[in-house]
Chain A
Amino acid sequence: MNFLSIFVLIPLVMLLALWLVKGQNAIRAVMAVGSTALLGLAVYLTVIFLSDRAAGADAPMLYTASFDWFTPLHIKYSVGVDGISVAMLLLSGVIVFTGTFVSWDMCKEYFLWFTLLSLGVFGFFISVDMFTMFMFYEVALIPMYLLIGVWGTGKKEYSAMKLTLMLMGGSAFLMCGIFGIFYGSGGQTMNIIEIATQTGGATAIALPEQLVWFPMTFVGFGVLGALFPFHTWSPDGHASAPTAVSMLHAGVLMKLGGYGCFRIAMYLMPEAAHELAWIFLILTGISVVYGAFSACVQTDLKYINAYSSVSHCGLVLFALLMMNETAGTGAIIQMLSHGLMTALFFALIGMIYGRTHTRDIREMSGLMRIMPFLAVGYVIAGLGNLGLPGLSGFVAEMTIFVGSFQHEDTFHRVFTILACSSIVTTAVYILRMIGKILYGKCTNEHHLALTDATAVERFPVIVLICCIAAIGLAPFFVSGLVNDGVVPIVKHILAAAV
């Protein structure tokens, strides 16, 4: 068996074990061991991937394997990884690991769905077959409905329904797009790499067809990547979701969108990408600016972070559409960085909410003195979000801005400047939030008796902060890893343009 399949196997074993065991401690043990194993595997994969690349393995995908699954439609279970997927697997490993500790007190059913969700995520990132990828994508979406609907807060049924319906609507487009690509390229294979290379580099799909399937695929994935105007599931969904689900959703699931847009839509239909990029560039540009301004006047902590995610994820798609190596690398680093930072944010918001029972920033103040650990973590997350050098956000944003500005077209450069303006708006809403809830004097006497984080809560926060700082202090490492996967895709896209 191919060793990438272990990423899917571990959650399967965890599901089985969760089903069998009884008692909270046993459940915790299963989750802790399982998620540690996943994280360990992701780290191991990174190490051997880098050493194999250094040793000269230059195939576009490493560790590939393929099994027939449904021969009439050429659907195969094909796996393989490049730099981007390795980075994404690492991110998923970290988020699932920390998410487990954040949801330490949840019940067995919750963990069952949670594990199924991680299974979908890991499966998605190791697949190179469009259909298998789509299947894992759906596997990741369905548990979300139950997790929010059952264990959420606030108007959870509405939010769960809205989120699921919007994402399902996106998948409907996506499926049309995938079959369009499959038949348009000759109906011989669902394997992404094979489709891209089967005609010696030229795109097999005719341009008029591409112009139909590209928007479908891009919007289908874009819904998940919070593309304006299909982002409205994000504030409601995140606000209602339980903490670890918000973390996993904003941290990893939203990255599926950007990943899919890049790897399927743009990679397989480069001509259409060139033709239509300007439309999506405008939409993502709007996302970046609009999300940031919306966040400025929100009063719910989770809404602020959700709109901030719209802005930051908008930047991911924005950079991808610039279609050059630097911006592409920046986009993937931004995915990692945003994934980690937003997970940290949601984890802390969940912990604060668990104590104060409110997320309204007008009802909190002076929490710094009451829960210093959480407050300091929150300040670090906030500063990371607004691009403090030494944390990951700065690295990602700078790579994106420099890359985007290298576009020879003036329109793109003007848009880049517009996107740059988000660094100011981000500072406004982050500092407003920090100033309101953490600083000042505590005016609510119920809050005075609250306690700081417990050891189990501290652990995931520290892990996430360390990851963010690691990217921020030694970016050459991540940048090199990611660039490895970006270069062939960007080259392929650019080759089609000429």
Chain B
Amino acid sequence: MDYQYTLLILCLPIVSFLILGLAGKWLSHRVAGLIGTLSIGAVAVLSYYTAFAYFGARGADGAFATLVPYNFEWLPFYIGNLHFDMGIMLDPISVMMLIVISTVSLMVHIYSFGYMHGERGFQRYYAFLSLFTMSMLGLVVATNIFQMYMFWELVGVCSYLLIGFYFTENPAIAASKKAFIVTRFADLGFLVGILVFGYYTGSFSFDFTESFTYAAGALHGVAPDASKAVAAGGFILPTALFLMFIGGAGKSAMFPLHIWLPDAMEGPTPVSALIHAATMVVAGVFQVARMFPMWIQYAPETLHYVAWIGAFTAFYAAAVAMAQSDIKRVLAFSTISQIAFMMVALGVCMPGHEGAVIDNHGSLGYMASMYHLFTHAMFKATLFLCAGCIIHAVHSNEMSAMGGMRKYMPVTHITFLIATLAISGIPPFSGFFSKDEILAASFAYSPVMGWVMTAIAAMTAFYMFRLYYGIFWGTENKELHEELKAHGHFGEAPAVMTLPLVLLTLFTVFMGWTLPGTFGSYVSATGQPYEIHLDLQIAVTSVVIACVSIALATWIYVRSSQPVAERMKAAMPRLHEWAYRRFYLDEVYQFVTHRIIFALISTPIAWFDRHIVDGALNGLASGANYIGESIRPLQSGRLQQYAYVFLMGIVIVFFIMII
């Protein structure tokens, strides 16, 4: 096994982070950007090379071996097999994630040259991007759950730093704080889940069946002993896994922990594309996929709860997306909805027959989820980067500032359209293939779930085309556009920004049908190749429904005056208002944090500390003082008084002696 160079994949970004972080002040923007981009470029080359090498070497049984080129004990815990390891693990999903992360990250690095041009803090921006990329790569190649947790926290911090990139603006400060604290709260669940899991199974390793191939010198992981946990109680493993899932739900913005993601759009748009659309937010899905063998064997029932949570999230987010006017918010809710699709796909997996817990049919959703993760990363990054181009042109996030943009930004228009078709599930774009597998898996689990997901897919097509028409067709804000034209910076973005769009769109166009074999032959639940067969019934239904939604959206939104939309809004003012306000969930959170946690817990505790605990001690001190003061008159220095007391004493003593 020679994947020793994979260490470079983690080291190059950290080197560039250190250079930019420590010496960024003395570097010009161009040099700083080049350092960041070149290091990620090298990472991308290595990742693709790794993928070709890895997927080129199929094992004797048709499955890909899981390789561990590095693993060492980073922090000993001195109990049995519990230790905090650091290592690199290559299996189909981690190699797939290497491709996703390095591709999107590289595109974002290139794109940012144009988008962040001349911004103050350019070097800092690239430094954080490098740090983020390193952390995310570390997360996906983790060999054990604790390493995953560590990088999980790191990506959270990078997200915090990048959302708060414009740290002089109040919304950015609030959003970054919110993102960090909400995900931290979820991570508490993750941490407790890890502790429970480690306590009962005695290992943090991902090597569930001790089937990994370790390189010479690498520390061998020990399989978690699930039987011990099962013996201690049947509910333990499901509880532990669900607690971990809470952490995943926080990162992947599952209801009701999704509230941070729309606000996270305060960050620079390329950051939204990288972190809040393509990579970090799918960490939760990745985590469930990573623990999948445990889930499917010991907690299949709980896995279905995950599916329903996902389904509700998908619906909720799609409903909210229909009423938003900020284009990045629409995309954010669409991201929430699409990630929920991936969660649903994992959640609907069912254990196979006796003997083989995992089989490719029962666990079709696993493959579907990873497939959708891959395709979604590409087209959602495209959508965000397109949104960045548009925002760059009109200096606003609101749809009211846009309209009719197709004339000014042809490249952006076409790429945006392709990505929109993909997310709507129109063939031959990649989204169609992956969404179709998710629907197939849902139908296999239960027809109810299948139809629910089909309906949400229809909503997706509708709100995405509403967005598309709102930006590129519809009512044009002529006044603003004329004014911008007069300033001379209006029109298509520079090539450095459109090139990434085109490259990412190529993935969207070709990914679904040009791969040798299908996606299932690389990534599947068992590791054995799974040939994807399109279920015609499902495929046709979903395409037809999507087309109907698109037609509906076209009818309502394509023209420059939109009477139908106005009438709809007027007919259901309450519903529109609620959806626009995201069903007031943020207000609920605001109430809980400020009115309950701050006002009812923290402030009383602080008061108690100052007045009761400290007051008691001050009381003790003043008590001692008071006693001292009261005794003081005895030491008056007056001879008569002393003589008097002396006499009294003698009298008393005599009395006592006599009696």
The residues of A with any CB-CB pair to B shorter than 8 Å are 162, 165-166, 228-229, 232, 290, 293-294, 296-298, 324-326, 329, 366, 368-369, 383, 386-390, 394-395, 398-399, 401-403, 405-406, 413, 416-417, 420-421, 423-424, 427-428, 431-432, 435, 438-441, 475-476, 479-480, 483
Q: Which residue of B lies closest to A329 (CB)?
A: B78
| CB proximity of A222 to chain B, nearest CB, Å | 14
Tell whether A326 pairs with B77 under 8 Å between CB atoms, given A166-B617, A294-B609: yes
Cβ-neighbour of A431 out of B78, B181, B185 (below 8 A): B181
Contacts A232-B609, A297-B603, A439-B168 given: A421-B75 contact, CB under 8 Å? no
Chain A residues within an 8 Å CB radius of B185: 424
Contact B188 A296 (CB under 8 A): no
Rounded to whole angstroms, the CA-CA distance of A389 and B146 in the bound complex is 11
Contact A395 B188 (CB under 8 A): no
* Contact indicator A390/B154 (Cβ below 8 Å): yes
Query: Total A-B pairs in contact (CB under 8 Å)?
Result: 128
Q: If the complex has contacts A294-B602, A297-B602, A325-B78, are A427 and B184 also in contact, measured as CB distance less than 8 A?
A: yes
CB distance from A441 to the nearest CB of B (A): 5
Which residues of chain A come closer than 8 Å to B74, judged between CB atoms? 475-476
B658 beta carbon closer than 8 Å to chain A: no
Q: Which of B141-191 contact A (CB under 8 A)?
A: 146, 150-151, 153-154, 157, 160, 164, 167-168, 170, 173-174, 176-177, 180-181, 184-185, 187-188, 191
A403 touches B602 (CB 8 A): no
Q: Which one of B84, B176, B597, B606 lies within 8 Å of A294 (CB-CB)? A: B606
CB nearest to A403 among chain B residues:
B77
10 A-B pairs, CB-CB below 8 angstroms? A232-B617, A386-B184, A398-B84, A402-B82, A405-B199, A406-B199, A423-B191, A427-B184, A431-B177, A441-B168
A402, B154: Cβ atoms closer than 8 Å: no
A440, B77: Cα distance in complex, Å: 42
* Seed contacts A398-B146, A420-B188, A480-B76; 6 additional CB < 8 Å A-B pairs: A298-B606, A326-B79, A369-B168, A399-B77, A424-B185, A441-B168
Question: Smallest distance from the beta carbon of A96 to chain B beta carbons, Å?
Answer: 27
Contact (Cβ within 8 A) A389 B195: no
Residues of A within 8 A of B176 (CB): 431, 435
Judge whether A406 and B79 touch: CB under 8 Å.
yes
- B73 within 8 Å of A (CB atoms): yes
Bound-state CA distance A326–B613 (Å) is 33
What chain B residues lie within 8 Å of A398 (beta carbons)?
Answer: 75, 84, 146
Do the beta carbons of B601 and A326 come within 8 Å of each other? no
Residues of B within 8 A of A416 (CB): 195
Scan residues 277-304 of chain B and give those whose CB is less than 8 A from a CB of chain A.
none
Q: In the assembly, what is the distance between CA of A417 and CA of B199, in Å?
A: 13
Does B180 lie within 8 Å of A431, measured CB to CB? yes
A228 to B174 CA separation, bound complex (whole angstroms): 33
Q: Which residue of A lies closest to B174 (CB)?
A: A435
Interface centre among A290, A369, A413 (most CB of B within 10 A): A290
B267 at interface by CB-CB < 8 Å = no
Residue numbers in B under 8 Å from A440 (CB-CB): 167-168, 170, 173
CA of A439 to CA of B176, assembled, Å: 11
If A402-B82, A424-B184 touch, whether A432 touches B177 (CB-CB below 8 Å) is: yes
Q: Which of B76, B192, B598 contacts A417 (CB 8 A)?
A: B192
Interface size on B, residues (CB 8 A): 49
The CA of A441 and the CA of B184, in the complex, are separated in Å by 27
When distances are taken between beta carbons in the complex, the residues of chain A under 8 Å from B639 are none
Contact assessment for A405 and B195 in the assembled complex, using a CB-CB cutoff below 8 Å: yes
State the CA gap A290–B606 with chains docked (Å): 9
* Min C-beta distance of B239 to chain A, whole Å: 12
- Asked whether, in the complex, the Cβ of B181 is within 8 Å of the Cβ of A424, the reply is yes
Q: By the criterion CB–CB under 8 Å, are B606 and A428 in contact?
A: no
B1 within 8 A of partner (CB): no
Q: Mark B52-88, 1 if CB is under 8 A from A, else 0.
A: 0000000000000000000001111111001010000
Distance A441 CA – B174 CA, assembled complex (angstroms): 14
Residues of A within 8 A of B196 (CB): 405
Known A398-B75, A405-B195; judge A427-B168 contact (CB<8 A): no
Interface pair B180/A427, CB less than 8 Å apart: yes
Closest to A429 in B: B602
Interchain CB contact under 8 A, A229 and B613 = yes
> Lowest 6 CB-CB distances: which A-B pairs, in order?
A232-B614, A296-B602, A439-B167, A405-B195, A389-B150, A297-B602
Contact A293 B76 (CB under 8 A): no
Residues of A within 8 A of B187 (CB): 423
Contact A294 B605 (CB under 8 A): yes
Q: Shortest CB–CB separation between residue A253 and chain B, in angstroms?
A: 19
Q: Chain A CB within 10 Å — which of B73, B79, B84, B605 has the most?
A: B605
What string of 1s and 0s marks CB contacts (under 8 Å) between B589-607 and chain A? 0000000011001110110
Known contacts A405-B195, A440-B168, A479-B75: A388-B606 contact under CB 8 Å: no
Cβ-defined contact, A325 with B184, below 8 A: no
Q: Which residues of chain A have C-beta atoms less than 8 A from B154's C-beta? A: 388-390
Residues of B contacting A383 in the complex (Cβ-Cβ under 8 angstroms) = 157
Cα–Cα, bound, A420→B149 (Å): 14
Residues of B close to A296: CB separation below 8 A:
597-598, 602, 606
Give complex CA distance A140, B191 in Å.
Answer: 39
Which of chain B's residues have a CB closer than 8 A to the CB of A326?
Answer: 77-79
Q: B198 contacts the other chain (Cβ, under 8 Å)?
A: yes
Q: How far is the CB of A100 from chain B (nearest CB, A)?
A: 25
Give A9 Cβ to nearest chain B Cβ, in Å: 36
Contact partner of A479 (CB less than 8 A), chosen from B76, B82, B199, is B76
Instruction: Give Cα A293–Cα B170 distance, bound, in whole angstroms.
Output: 24
When distances are taken between beta carbons in the complex, the residues of chain B under 8 Å from A368 are 167-168
Distance A439 CA – B609 CA, assembled complex (angstroms): 30
In the complex, per-residue mask of B381-418: 1 if CB is within 8 Å of any chain A CB, else 0: 00000000000000000000000000000000000000
B150–A297 touching, CB < 8 Å: no
Contacts of B73 in A (CB 8 A): 476
